[in-house]
Amino acid sequence: MQTQKKIKGLRLILKTARSQGKSIALVPTMGNLHEGHLQLVRQARERYDFIVCSIFVNPMQFSENEDLAAYPRTLEADCESLRSESCDCLFLPCVKEVYGEGLEQQTSVHVPGLTENFCGNSRPGHFEGVATVVTKLFNIAQPDAAFFGLKDYQQFLVIQKLTHDLALDIAIHGIETHREESGLAMSSRNNYLSPQHKEQAASLYRCLQSCAEKIQQGNTDFQQLEEDAKKELKQASLKLDYFQICDAQSLLASTTDTQSIAILGAVFIGKSRLIDNIRLQRS
């Protein structure tokens, strides 16, 4: 696996790969890789010839009340994991390489509509930071495709929209959430959880599952379903951020006519804020 810290160097590597007729896939990450990240690399490997994984803890997507310095960094283990998955290239830029003139002078990318609620409301500026860094990575690597986990479903829709709106010729692949045995969605933030907190946190997925089953059985009283789920989460000693049944494309509240549904949930436990979702198609 080649490792490159400079934009110019990465572009030279990718230019060589293209000259050999290879298709290129990008897997953007912030490191602290877990099985969910590695599944993205495996899926990319199955479909494309040359796989680039980026590790960059993006300061632009952290708000003032979030501890950027505390984000887990496990570079040595990450590199070993990527080598074991036959990743071709690791892009490992520093903040100055990505934001050469500083964050205050950085042109930013704003995606309207989808970014205004849920995580956008809880983490002001978060999606602008995500959209900006993803757009920069797309322009740096110019891949044929990029792979993202669907645990961050709102983020996935934001990236889909910016790719479409900016006419970027990149296929965006969403890969299903990889879960622990309890059903808890794998996340770098799970590292902050004690075993007891992990068991409590798994209640979020159980609530999502229960809500989805009731909808599949024909229950369309979405407001009551949301209230019931919120009570269950409170009983599990989870502090609620949001729990809502939405249209899976617009993220507007579902109506009785909505066919494609996403149920989104976010909770606080210990030092962590955890998100998860389930998507379903009504028959």
Give the integer Cα–Cα distance in Å for 17 and 20. Answer: 5
**pLDDT for 208-233, tens place per residue?**
999 999 999 999 999 999 999 999 99
Residue 270 has pLDDT above 90, yes or no: no
Indicate the fold that domain 188-278 takes in CATH.
Pantoate--beta-alanine Ligase; Chain: A,domain 2 (3.30.1300)
The stretch 180-197 carries a mean pLDDT of 91
Reported as a single tens digit per residue, the pLDDT across 32-87 is 999 999 999 999 999 999 999 999 999 999 988 787 888 889 999 999 999 999 99
How far CA 117 is from CA of 265, 281, 282, in Å, comes to 12, 22, 24
**Where along the chain do its domains lie?**
2-175, 188-278
What is the β-pairing status of strands 171-175 and 239-247? unpaired
Round to whole Å and give the CA distance between 73 and 71: 6
DSSP assignments along 106-162, one per residue: ------TTTTSSTHHHHSTTHHHHHHHHHHHHHHHH--SEEEEETTSHHHHHHHHHH
Q: pLDDT of 127-153, one tens digit each?
A: 999 999 999 999 999 999 999 999 999
Structure tokens at 77: 């283990």
> What integer is the mean pLDDT of 175-189?
94
pLDDT tens digits along 230-266? 999 999 999 999 999 999 999 999 999 999 999 999 9
What's the average model confidence in pLDDT over 5-19? Answer: 98
Q: Give the pairing type, strands 272-281 and 260-269.
A: antiparallel
This model's pTM is above 0.75: yes
Please report the pLDDT score of residue 64 as a whole number. Answer: 80
What is the helix, strand, coil percentage profile of the chain, to 5? 45, 20, 35
CATH number given to 2-175 = 3.40.50.620
37 is catalytic: yes
> How much of the chain, in percent, has pLDDT values that exceed 90?
93
- The pLDDT assigned to 232 comes to 97
**Annotated catalytic residue: which of 34, 37, 178, 197?**
37
Residue-level pLDDT at 271: 82
Cα distances (Å, whole numbers) of residue 248 to 140, 231, 259, 280, 283: 30, 24, 9, 8, 15
Q: What is the SS3 assignment for 65-101?
A: CCCHHHCCCCHHHHHHHHHHCCCCEEECCCHHHHCCC
